[in-house]
Chains A and B, each alone.
Chain A
C-alpha cells in the first residue's frame, strides 16, 4: 500500500445563493486507510452529507466543487469524466442513505434493485445475479431471502429495507462504503442491529467504512477515528478514545458533555446554545463563534487554522493552547 485509500484535501463545496455564493464545505482534509472505520460527526447543516455526495460526484445542481482534490486509490475522482466515475460508483465506492423508505425505488422489487448493480458492474447474467442477491440477503440477515427478493420496499420493515440498502452497497465488494445517517430513520433497537451488522460486515470483508451521523455516541461505538465537523469546516479529528478523553475543540467538548448527560440521564443538559447557522448566515471568522462559550473578539475575525495535536489528532481552534490545558491530555503529546 503506497498511500491511503481515500485522500481528500482542501475540499471546498460552494453553494450559489442568488448572486452570492457560500462555501458550505470549506477546505476540509481527511483520509481513510483501507479497512479503516472513520466516523464523521456534526449537526444537520454541517456539510457532512455534501462531502459524501461530492465523493461520488453526485452534488445537487446548485452546488459545485470549487477547490480541493479527492484521490481514491491514487485516482483523482474530481477530474474523472462522468462515464469513468459511473464505473467506480457502486463498484469501488458505494453509499447507504438515511431514509431507506425513499432511497429504494417503490415500484421495483428489492431483489431486482440489488441484482441490477451486479449485472451492471460484474456483468452477471440474470440468473447469476439472482443467486448472488439471495446470498447477499442472507449475509445481511434477511430471513427467507429466496422469498424476500420478490418483495417491494413497502412490504418490508424499516430495518429490513436498510439491510437491503446494505446488501446493495456491498454487492460488488467495494473498497469504500459511505453510510450517511444509516440508522437515523430507525428505532433504537434496530439502530443497534444495523451498527452491529456494519461492524460484522466490515470485519468480514475488510471494506473501509465512512459512517456519517449526528449521533456522537453511535459513531463512537463503531469508528476507530472520528472527524467532528461544524458548519462546513473541520473542527476536530482524533482517535475515538482520544476524542472522549481529551476533547480539545469547544464544540467537541459540548457534544461530549451533551452525550454524557444523555447517558447519565441527567435532567439539565449542558447543551450547546443555539443552532447551526444557515449557510447564508455563516459568520466571517470561526463559524462556531456565535455559539462558543469561550469566544473572544478575535474569533469573529479570524478563521482558525487546523493544528496538529498529535500524529492523529488535529483541531481548528484559535484558543487551542489554553482550552486543551483543561482536558486531561498528557503534556508530552501536546508538545509533540
Chain B
C-alpha cells in the first residue's frame, strides 16, 4: 500500500514539472514589455529597469525558466510589485476562503449528486428518474454567476436568510461562517452536482444489472442493503474519479463565484491580478490551482486503490 502511494507520488513529479512549464509559457505570451506594464505609465526608466532585473526579464528565457522552477521547488512563487509582498504570502492569506468555498461546494455536490443519481437509477424510467435528471440537466446548464445573483435576490434580499456576500472566518463565528458560505457553495456546486448525478445514474444502472446484485437479492437482503452496500460500493469507484475531475471545475468556478459574493479568496486575488496586470500573482495562482488539481487526483488514485481491492497491490 505505502509502496503504491510512493509510486504514485513519484509519477506525479513529471506532471507537476509540465504544469509549471505551461504556466511559465502562458506568461511569456504577454505582448509588449511586461516590466513596463507592471511598473505603470508614470514609472521612470530606472524603475522599469529595476523591475525588469527583479523579475529576471533581462535574462534569457532558459535562465528564467530555471529560476521559476527552482523557486517553486522551494515554495517561492515570485514577488508581486503591486502588492509589495511575496506571491505565496498573498495566496496563503486568501486560501482559507477558497478552500471553504470549494470544500463545501464539493460536499454539497457529492451528497446531492450521488443521491439524485441513485434515485434516478433505482427508479429507472419513472417520474423520479425524469425529475432527478431534469434537475441535473438544469444544474449543468445554468450559468453559475447568474444563478448566484438570482440566489442573492431571493434568499438575501427577499427572504433575508443569508448575507448577500462577504466572508466570516470560522474562528470568529462558526454559524456566521456557515451562513456566509451557503449561497456561494450552492452556486458553485450546482454544475458539479449535475455532472455527478448524471454520472452516478449511469454507473448505478450498470451495477444494478450485475450478477452480484441478483446474488444479494437471492440472499434475502433488504433493497436498501442491496443498493447502498453492494451496488454503491462498486459504483463509488468510478464516481470518486469523477468527483476528483470536477475539482478543477470547482476551482475555476470559484474565481467567478468569489466575484459574485465579494469573497476575498484566491480567485478574486487572481482577478485583481489580471485587472492590475500583476502577472506574478496570476502565474502563482495558476500554479497553485493546477498543483492542487494534481494533488487531488493523486488522492483520488489512493482512495481508488483503497476502495477497489483488485488494484490494491498492482
Interface residues of A (CB under 8 A from B): 53, 56, 58, 86-91, 94-95, 97, 99, 102-108, 116-117, 120-121, 152, 154-155, 165, 168
Known A90-B221, A116-B219; further 15 A-B contacts with Cβ < 8 A: A56-B218, A58-B217, A89-B218, A99-B211, A103-B212, A103-B215, A104-B212, A105-B215, A107-B233, A107-B234, A108-B233, A116-B225, A117-B221, A154-B310, A168-B219
Interface residues of B (CB under 8 A from A): 210-212, 214-222, 225, 229-230, 233-234, 237, 307-310
Are A102 and B310 touching (Cβ within 8 A)?
no
**Residue numbers in A under 8 Å from B221 (CB-CB):** 86, 90, 116-117, 120
**Residue numbers in A under 8 Å from B222 (CB-CB):** 86, 120
**Residue numbers in A under 8 Å from B216 (CB-CB):** 105
With contacts A107-B309, A152-B309, A154-B309 known, is A120 near B220, CB below 8 A?
yes
Q: List 12 A-B contacts (CB under 8 A).
A: A53-B214, A86-B220, A89-B217, A90-B221, A97-B211, A107-B233, A107-B307, A107-B309, A108-B230, A116-B221, A117-B219, A117-B221
With contacts A102-B211, A103-B212, A107-B233 known, is A90 near B308, CB below 8 A?
no
The 9 closest A-B pairs by CB, nearest first: A90-B220, A89-B220, A90-B219, A102-B211, A152-B309, A105-B212, A95-B218, A103-B211, A103-B215
The CA-CA distance from A97 to B213 in the complex, in Å, is 12
The CA-CA distance from A91 to B181 in the complex, in Å, is 50
**Chain B residue with Cβ nearest A102:** B211
**Chain B residue with Cβ nearest A151:** B309
Are B310 and A106 touching (Cβ within 8 A)?
yes
Which residue of B211, B220, B225 is within 8 Å of A91 (Cβ)?
Answer: B220
With contacts A152-B309, A152-B310 known, is A106 near B212, CB below 8 A?
yes
The CA-CA distance from A91 to B220 in the complex, in Å, is 8
The CA-CA distance from A204 to B211 in the complex, in Å, is 29
The CA-CA distance from A214 to B222 in the complex, in Å, is 32
Are A97 and B215 touching (Cβ within 8 A)?
yes
**Residue numbers in B under 8 Å from A58 (CB-CB):** 214, 217-218
The CA-CA distance from A106 to B237 in the complex, in Å, is 12
- Shortest beta-carbon distance from A307 to chain B in Å: 35
The CA-CA distance from A86 to B218 in the complex, in Å, is 8
**Residue numbers in A under 8 Å from B215 (CB-CB):** 95, 97, 103-105, 165, 168
With contacts A102-B212, A106-B234 known, is A120 near B219, CB below 8 A?
yes
Are B237 and A107 touching (Cβ within 8 A)?
yes
Are B210 and A102 touching (Cβ within 8 A)?
yes
Are A121 and B220 touching (Cβ within 8 A)?
yes
- Shortest beta-carbon distance from B58 to chain A in Å: 58
**Residue numbers in B under 8 Å from A88 (CB-CB):** 220
- Shortest beta-carbon distance from A131 to chain B in Å: 19
